[in-house]
Chains A and B, each alone.
Chain A
Amino acid sequence: MRRKPFPWHIVVFLAPAVLIYTLFMIYPMLASLKFSLYQTLDDGRQVFVGLGNYIKLLTDPNWKEPFWNAFWNNVVFFIIHMSLQNPIGLFLAVLLASNIRGAWIYRTIIFTPTILSVVLIGFAWKLILSPTWGIWFPLLDRLGLGDNEVAIALLGNESSALITLSLISVWQNIGIPMMLFLAALIRIPNELIEAAQVDGANSWRIFWRIQFPLIIPTVGIVAILTFIGNFNAFDLIYATQGALAGPNFSTDIMGTFFFRTFFGFQLRPGDPNMGATVAGMMLLIILTGVLIYLYGWQRRMEEVQF
């Protein structure tokens, strides 16, 4: 009996992608995780400390305070995206899916900020909200807030900076949920909606009874993508507030905390081991979200569908 020849072509097709992906994504990720279990001594030697760095991050007063500050700021950042970006994105998608003329023009315009660099968008908004330019002072005057210190410098106050940055991020990224929801809405057969219209259902009823139930899988996808994106965000804060995520760390999120820990700031030198530890915690947070999505949400969806 002749054995089948070894399928070299499969190896040739897969090898380049698998090699690059393994070398520059998987291996560094594992190396970073391993690195988070070590400490570097003054003479450059690496000593294994187990979960010591993680314990330090969560219990040492020097570490736990900035860590939890960044974590909770990130939670606020995420909640604002979930409660504004995704519902408004869905609302716009419903409007765009209603067969109006020129829908593609609106769609193209509203998606524009999403394709621009966060650095440029962040900086443009920083200028617009700058008290030096004062471009929106007339509006404040009309609202009776002309003397309100917080309203004058939204990015300069601890109480308003994080919310303002979250809103800028919502403004920029709304195109993503909008497109994903639009894609799901377009896939709903027209006959379903027409039949409901013939039966006298209004748009509100059609949305809640037909459209929304059918796009629930997309709601889950949008939520998990928002979660991953938010807990990995960095550029916007760095571009507008700098690595120190001012004022007084009130806009510090996991990404900026990771950057500062790894590279150091002001007088504190960078610490690659602790940087890797922060990255490890971010990985844990993101994986927790992904697992909740896969096992909590998607499995339940399958039960509903079949």
Chain B
Amino acid sequence: MTGSRYRWLRFFKAGGIHVTLLAYSALVLFPILLVFMNSFKDQMAIFGEPLAPPTPETFSVDGYKTLFEVANFQHYFLNSLIVTTVSLVLIVFLGAMAGWALAEYEFKLNTFMAIYLALGIMVPIRLGTVGILRLMADWHLVNTLTALILVYTAMGLPLSIFILSRFFAQLPPDFKDAARIDGASEYRIFTLVLPLVRPALGTVAAISMIPVWNDLWFPLILAPSEKTKTIVLGAQVFLGQFLNDWQAVLAALSLAMIPAILLYMLFSKQLIRGLTAGAVK
């Protein structure tokens, strides 16, 4: 008796949880799907039947045509890709080197260095913008992708070093000692241990990617030229100029979202594993 009552209770509880999560998922997906759906409709249908999916009669890609005629989205996308990829490689690789040094070697300034490098986790780099812009102007780096890469690398390194040094510290010592006895140099040992923390490298890359890819502030301030616009800045400028062309605006939003969603689908495993493994503690 009690057993079946318990089972029924559990059944209802699970049902309630599913209904709640489904409802919340709908709230999350609704605006995104609405934008996608309407980007493939003609102006009449966008306003007449905003909630209806495109039909053969209402289907239109005029928005995308305007987009490709006026704005150079392929170029913006390429800029974003270059900036994000190079920054990530630097964040992960230089972060691993520094994280390894802090975790592996005892030296006088170890604690000081760890704290000094961790400051950047708590203090947003944006607050140094006045100084950054002056520095970049002095070095003639304004309106270059290099400026963005350097700033994003500085921005991503603190968390990268922090996470990776914790992973290096957890490695068993036997392996390293064996390599040392065999006469391997410290550099060689680093290249041997690097593959052992590969999951952590993926996690750091996934976590660092989001703020770099999505940033508006630094492209707007350091590299606003047509040649160096990232996709977020490009979309922002385009949206401001074509406010009244709803088809074009919806197309721009959809197109700018697609790369991020694809990247998310590719890296969601690393990202979620990293977040839930307590990498950000």
Q: Name A's B-contacting residues (CB within 8 A).
A: 7, 9-10, 12-14, 16-18, 20-21, 23-32, 35, 92, 95-96, 98, 100, 102, 104, 106-121, 123-125, 127-128, 133, 135, 171, 179-180, 182-184, 186-187, 203, 221, 224, 228, 232, 234-235, 238-239, 255, 258, 262-263, 272, 275-276, 279-280, 282-283, 286-287, 290
Contacts of B158 in A (CB 8 A): 21
Tell me whether A29 and B123 are in contact (CB under 8 A). yes
Q: Verify if B163 is at the interface (C-beta below 8 Å from A).
A: no
Tell me whether B216 and A25 are in contact (CB under 8 A). no
Contacts of A283 in B (CB 8 A): 123, 127
Tell me whether A110 and B216 are in contact (CB under 8 A). no
Per CB-CB distance, the 7 closest pairs between chain A and chain B, nearest first, are A28-B131, A31-B131, A29-B128, A28-B128, A13-B101, A24-B154, A17-B98
Tell me whether A24 and B150 are in contact (CB under 8 A). yes
Q: Name B's A-contacting residues (CB within 8 A).
A: 13-14, 17-18, 20-22, 24-25, 27-29, 31-32, 34-35, 46-47, 50-51, 90, 94-95, 97-98, 100-102, 105, 107, 113, 116-117, 119-120, 122-132, 134-135, 150-151, 153-155, 157-158, 161, 185-187, 190, 210, 213-217, 221, 232, 235-236, 239, 246, 249-250, 253, 256-257, 260-261, 263-264, 268, 271-272, 275-278, 280-281
CB proximity of A228 to chain B, nearest CB, Å: 6
Tell me whether A182 and B21 are in contact (CB under 8 A). no
Given A115-B210, A115-B264: A13 in contact with B51 (beta carbons within 8 A):
no
Main DSSP-derived SS at the A contact region: helix
Tell me whether A124 and B253 are in contact (CB under 8 A). yes
Tell me whether A228 and B122 are in contact (CB under 8 A). yes
Contacts of A118 in B (CB 8 A): 214, 216
Tell me whether B94 and A20 are in contact (CB under 8 A). yes
Tell me whether A239 and B31 are in contact (CB under 8 A). no
Measured in the bound complex, the distance between the Cα atoms of B114 and A233 in whole Å is 27
Tell me whether A133 and B190 are in contact (CB under 8 A). no
B101 CB contact (under 8 Å) in A14, A109, A114: A14
Determine the residue in chain A with the shortest Cβ distance to B216.
Answer: A235
Contacts of A290 in B (CB 8 A): 122
Instruction: Identify the interface centre among B131, B155, B161, B187: most chain A CB within 10 Å of its CB.
Output: B131
